Amino acid sequence: MKDAFGTPQSLLILGGTSAIGLATARRLVARRTRTVWLAGRPSPALESAAAGLRALGADVRTVAFDALDSTSHEEVLGKVFAEGDIDMVLLAFGILGDQARDEAEPLAAVRVAQTNYTGAVSAGLVCANALQEQGHGSLVVLSSVAGERARRANFIYGSSKAGLDAFTQGLGDALHGTGVHVMVVRPGFVRSKMTAGRAETPLATTPEAVAAAIELGLRRRSETVWVPGALRLVMSALRHVPRPLFRRMSAY
């Protein structure tokens, strides 16, 4: 169960090797979280992520989960929920893709969309239903500022996040009053291995900062969290910039 400050005792991370996911887990394990499920494709990285959290004192279990294999989600995630209540699900999987290649190879672009959007829709709904069944819990979904307005430089990734973001908002409305809390997290440019070697955009942040914002959002039962918070203002301004001007601004 969550405590009065929204800190979960059990956590399921979809995308168990995600830098933001693991930073969040480390932060929560330092508070109340004792049970962590890391869902992801079996790999040494997943095992070492689990070992890292175990070293902090958590009871960590891994589960084979493939975002692209939507038909398996019900069964795989159902098993996790059957083991006991999950106080918080962090939907953290996603791929950035390679914009230039993805534009040239439509199937590569489809893979980005299927992972970030279709996979999240099925996994998100499976978890939402399970959370609703248990009458409590938070579903935290990692969106991105990239989904707020399509940019030339990463519109394939951005459009998948836009879909995910809209889906999550709607899901939050659907679950309002059921005891399940749905929170969209929109980080800006996060310095992590996913973005290594890419040009930073202004207001860049770190996985640890995102984790801190998630913990605060849990305490406040927020529905939308921007990281850093200033992005809320920046993006609401950018949303209204005329397209010819926006094109010139986001040419990089």
Partner 1 sequence: MSVDTVSVTGWGRTAPTTARLIRPRSYEEAAAAVVECAAHGARGGIARGLGRAYGDAAQNAGGSVLDMTGLDRIRRIDAEAGVVVCDAGVSLHRLMEVLLPLGWFVPVTPGTRYVTVGGAIGADIHGKNHHGSGSFSRHVLSFDLLTADGEVRTVPSGTDLFDATAGGMGLTGVILSATVQLLPVETSLMCVDTERASDLDDLMARLTADDHRYRYSVAWIDLLARGASTGRSVLTRGEHAPLDALPSRARRSPLAFSPGRLPAAPRFVPDGLLGRTTVGLFNELRYRTAPRARRTGEIQKLSAFFHPLDGVPHWNRLYGRSGFVQYQFVVGYGQEDALRRIVRRISSCTGGGRGCPSFLAVLKWFGDGDPGWLSFPMPGWTLALDIPANLSGLGAFLDELDEEVAAAGGRVYLAKDSRLRPEMLAPMYPKLARFRALRAELDPLGVFTSDLSRRLSL
Catalytic residues: 157
2 binds partner 1, rule: CB under 8 A: yes
| Site residues (CB under 8 A) for partner 1, limited to 20-49 | 31-32
Among 44, 177, 197, 202, binds partner 1 (CB under 8 A): 177
- Of 27 and 73, which CB lies nearer to partner 1 in the complex structure? 27
| 121, two tokens | 């829709």
Among 70, 72, 114, 134, binds partner 1 (CB under 8 A): 134
Distance separating alpha carbons of residues 35 and 29, to the nearest angstrom: 8
- Of 85 and 148, which CB lies nearer to partner 1 in the complex structure? 85
Q: Helix axis angle, 106-113 relative to 155-175, nearest 10°?
A: 20
- Of 42 and 179, which CB lies nearer to partner 1 in the complex structure? 179
Among 59, 103, 105, 133, binds partner 1 (CB under 8 A): 133
Please say whether the beta carbons of 39 and 63 come within 8 A: yes
Distance separating alpha carbons of residues 227 and 144, to the nearest angstrom: 9
Q: Which residue has the tokens 């709904």?
A: 125
| Site residues (CB under 8 A) for partner 1, limited to 205-234 | 216, 219-220
CA distances 217 to 1, 25, 151, Å, are: 17, 15, 27
Residue span binding partner 1 (CB under 8 A) among the ranges 11-19, 173-181, 187-195, 197-205:
173-181
136 binds partner 1, rule: CB under 8 A: yes
Among 26, 85, 158, 225, binds partner 1 (CB under 8 A): 85
Q: Residues of 53-85 as b/e, b for ≥16 C-beta within 10 angstroms?
A: beeeebebebbebbbeebeebeebbeebbeeeb
- Of 216 and 235, which CB lies nearer to partner 1 in the complex structure? 216
In whole angstroms, the minimum distance from the beta carbon of 172 to partner 1 comes to: 15
Q: Which residue has the tokens 């692209």?
A: 68
Work out the number of other CB atoms within 10 angstroms of the CB of residue 100.
9
127 binds partner 1, rule: CB under 8 A: no
What does the binding site for partner 1 look like in residue numbers (CB under 8 A)? 1-7, 9, 31-32, 85, 133-136, 177-180, 216, 219-220
